Structure 1
Amino acid sequence: MLIPLANEPRDYAWGSTSLLADLEGREPADHPEAEVWFGDHPGDPAETWDGRTLDRWIADDGAASGIDGPLPYLLKLLAAASALSIQAHPSKAQAEAGFAREEAAGIPRDAAERTYRDDNHKPELIVALSETFRALAGLRELDATRRLIAALGPGAAPLAERLAEPDASLSAVIGWLLSDGADVARDVIAAAVAGESDEFAAELELARTLDAGFSGDPGIVVALLMNLVTLRRGEGLFVPAGVLHAYLDGLGVELMAASDNVLRGGLTPKQVDASELVSVLDPTPGVPPVIHARTLGRGIRQYDVPVEDFALLAVTAAADGVDVTLAGPAIAVATDGAPEVAGLASGSASVLVPGAAVLVTPDEGGLRVTGEGELFIALPGR
């Protein structure tokens, strides 16, 4: 079966009034549109053609089509006009322990002070749909960060001293900045706002932008320790457990394990639990994990990620049809043109305009994609 899905954009403050509207060919919204969720996550399940939410449809009718439980992934369209919070996500074991601890403490799952809202991990992949998509991802190599902080002069001296230690721990530095380093952070931010550096001009310009929106936030200094990444259309960024990241601006397709566990590290009015963030943080510096799609066949590309929760395909339609074999329940969302999708088993067909999505049940075995356009397909990993 092909089950049409729809959902309303979530109006987070960092959302864009125009990115989703431009994708869908409509007038800009009068409020931020940040994310559209296509999945059965109870936080905001998609709606099916008959008015039921997708989680309800799967509970009622999914078994008859080969779906034996909740989807292991959540697919989104994400439209950022300004920075999301700096954050990291726990591993599966950390999520299970944290969730059990907060359940035992009797903290309501929707409470502002709640950190672990479920017992799952949340690795995630984002693929740029806009011509550029900027993000912070992972911690920069330490020698480069030392050069950046040194370029800021005396105002950043206390931070430079901590980073200069031979056994400098980035997780310890981040924990200090977020818990006890507010005064130092303000001085570093002031130095960054006024600073100049040919090597780190983009990073300093970002600091100025962030300070305009989050004045004095220690997360701005955390951002100076991170890799600044610019994705081109079609490039992906994979964020595993423990990796610090923040999306800055652009439109993308985001796919993640079905979880809502977030440990924040600044650039947000929400709770920042520095000690818990540090406990899940992977402090290993390195290059950001940018992913280029691998060609599987004519018109079919795959973004390879090392998790079993999800896989992501990008499909370019063809006039004579492209057959895509799918194992397990899949969700397809169109991002360009008007491709027609038809179930391989039933022949049931639907034309998808940009922003429209369908659930493809396992008994179809896959899709034939005809016409012109592009779509992304989320499915369980192998």
Structure 2
Amino acid sequence: MLIPLANDPRDYAWGSTSLLAALEGRQASGRPEAEVWFGDHPGDPAETPDGRTLDRWIAEEGPAVGIDGPLPYLLKLLAAASPLSIQAHPSKSQAEAGFAREEAAGVARDAAERTYRDANHKPELIVALSETFRALAGLRDPAATRRLLAALGPGASPLAERLAETDAPLSAIVGWLLADGADAAGGVIDAALTAESDEFSAELELARTLHAVYPGDPGIVVALLMNLITLRRGEGLFVPAGMLHAYLEGLGVELMAASDNVLRGGLTPKHVDAAELVSVLDPSPGLPPVIRSRDVAPGVRRYDVPVADFALLAVSPTADGVEVALSGTSIAVATAGAPEVSGTTSSAGARLLPGGAVLVTPDEGGVRVTGEGELFIALPGR
């Protein structure tokens, strides 16, 4: 079966007022449109044509078509006009322990101070749909950060001294900035507002932009410890457990494990638990690799990620169309043109305009894609 899916954009403040509307070829609403969720996550499940939410549809109809439980992933379209919070996600074992701890303490699952809202990890992949997509990801090599701080002058001295302590992991420095380093952060921010550096001009400009939105937030200084990355259209960034990151600007397809566990590290009015964030952070510095798709069949490309929760395919049909073998429950979303998608078993079909999506049940075994355009298919990983 092919089941059309729809959902309303989530109106987070950082969302773009134009990117999703432009993708879908419709009039902009004038409100921030940040994310469209295509999945069965109870936080905002997609809707099926008969009005049922996807989680209810799967519970009631899934067993008959080979779906044996909730989806292990959540597929989104994400449109950022301003930075998301700096954040990291726990590993599976960390999530299980944290969830059990907060459950035992009686913290309501929707409480503002709640950290672990489920017992799952949340690795994620973002693939750029806009010509560029900017993000902060991972902690920068300390030698480069020392050069940045030197450009800031005396105002950055307390942080520079901390960074010079070779036995202090970067994660501990992040925790200090968020919990006890307000004065030191203020000095760095003040210096960054007027400093100049050929090597770090983009990072300093970002700091000034962040200060305009979150004046004095220690997260601005945390951002200066991170790698500033620009993805080109079609390039991806994989965020494993423990990697500090923040999406800054652009339109993308996002695929993640089905979880809502977020530990924040600044640039947000929401709850920040510095100690818990540090406990899950990977302190290893380095530039995360940009993930480029590889051809697996004519017109079909795959983004390789090291998790079993999900896989992502990009399909641009050839003149004769393409057959795409699928295992498990899949979701396809169109991002260009008007591709026609039909099941390989039932021959049920759907024409997808950009932003349109369908659920492909396991009993189909795959899809045939014809016409012109582009679509992304999320499915369980191997």
- Give TM-score, length-normalised by structure 1: 0.99
Task: Work out the CA distance in 1 between the residues paired with 2:167 and 2:101.
Answer: 32
Do 1:211 and 1:220's aligned partners in 2 also have CA atoms closer than 8 Å? yes
One-letter amino acid of the structure 1 residue matched with residue 8 of structure 2: E
Q: Give 1:183 shift.
A: 1.1
Task: Work out the CA distance in 1 between the residues paired with 2:20 and 2:317.
Answer: 22
1:173 partnered with 2:166: no
Task: Work out the CA distance in 2 between the residues paired with 1:173 and 1:287.
Answer: 18
In structure 1, the residue matched to 2:332 is 332
In structure 1, the residue matched to 2:7 is 7
Task: Work out the CA distance in 2 between the residues paired with 1:228 and 1:27.
Answer: 32
In structure 2, the residue matched to 1:217 is 217
Q: Deviations over 1:338-376 (max 9, x none)?
A: 000000001111000000000000000001000000000
Q: Which moved more, 1:162-171 or 1:190-199?
A: 162-171
Secondary structure at the counterpart of residue 110 of structure 2: coil
Task: Work out the CA distance in 1 between the residues paired with 2:260 and 2:188.
Answer: 32
In structure 2, the residue matched to 1:285 is 285
Secondary structure at the counterpart of residue 229 of structure 1: strand
Task: Work out the CA distance in 2 between the residues paired with 1:222 and 1:275.
Answer: 15
Q: Give 1:150 shift.
A: 1.2
Do 1:127 and 1:252's aligned partners in 2 also have CA atoms closer than 8 Å? yes
Do 1:229 and 1:288's aligned partners in 2 also have CA atoms closer than 8 Å? no
Task: Work out the CA distance in 1 between the residues paired with 2:347 and 2:79.
Answer: 33
Task: Work out the CA distance in 2 between the residues paired with 1:165 and 1:197.
Answer: 24
In structure 2, the residue matched to 1:306 is 306
* Residue segments in structure 2 that go unaligned for 5+ positions in a row: none
One-letter amino acid of the structure 2 residue matched with residue 78 of structure 1: L
Superposition misfits of 4+ residues, deviation over 6 angstroms: none
Q: Deviations over 1:241-262 (max 9, x none)?
A: 0000000000000000000000
Q: Deviations over 1:204-230 (max 9, x none)?
A: 000011001110000000000000000
In structure 1, the residue matched to 2:240 is 240
Task: Work out the CA distance in 2 between the residues paired with 1:85 and 1:285.
Answer: 20
1:315 partnered with 2:315: yes
One-letter amino acid of the structure 1 residue matched with residue 304 of structure 2: D
* Residue segments in structure 1 that go unaligned for 5+ positions in a row: none
Do 2:36 and 2:78's aligned partners in 1 also have CA atoms closer than 8 Å? yes
In structure 2, the residue matched to 1:125 is 125
Q: Deviations over 1:97-138 (max 9, x none)?
A: 000000001111001010000000000000000000000000
In structure 2, the residue matched to 1:134 is 134
Do 1:5 and 1:38's aligned partners in 2 also have CA atoms closer than 8 Å? yes
One-letter amino acid of the structure 1 residue matched with residue 263 of structure 2: L
One-letter amino acid of the structure 2 residue matched with residue 216 of structure 1: G
Q: Give 1:289 shift.
A: 2.7
How many pairs does the alignment contain? 382
- Give TM-score, length-normalised by structure 2: 0.99
Q: Which moved more, 1:312-321 or 1:260-269?
A: 312-321
1:201 partnered with 2:201: yes
One-letter amino acid of the structure 1 residue matched with residue 77 of structure 2: L
In structure 2, the residue matched to 1:38 is 38
The CA RMSD measured in Å over matched residues stands at 0.6
In structure 1, the residue matched to 2:61 is 61
One-letter amino acid of the structure 2 residue matched with residue 41 of structure 1: H
Task: Work out the CA distance in 2 between the residues paired with 1:146 and 1:373.
Answer: 46
One-letter amino acid of the structure 2 residue matched with residue 195 of structure 1: A
In structure 2, the residue matched to 1:157 is 157
In structure 2, the residue matched to 1:77 is 77
In structure 1, the residue matched to 2:365 is 365
Task: Work out the CA distance in 2 between the residues paired with 1:264 and 1:119.
Answer: 17
**Percent identity at matched positions?**
80
1:250 partnered with 2:220: no
Do 1:129 and 1:252's aligned partners in 2 also have CA atoms closer than 8 Å? yes
In structure 2, the residue matched to 1:343 is 343
Q: Give 1:166 shift.
A: 2.4
Q: Give 1:86 shift.
A: 0.1
Do 1:170 and 1:283's aligned partners in 2 also have CA atoms closer than 8 Å? yes
Task: Work out the CA distance in 1 between the residues paired with 2:278 and 2:137.
Answer: 16
Q: Give 1:24 shift.
A: 0.2
Task: Work out the CA distance in 1 between the residues paired with 2:226 and 2:96.
Answer: 28
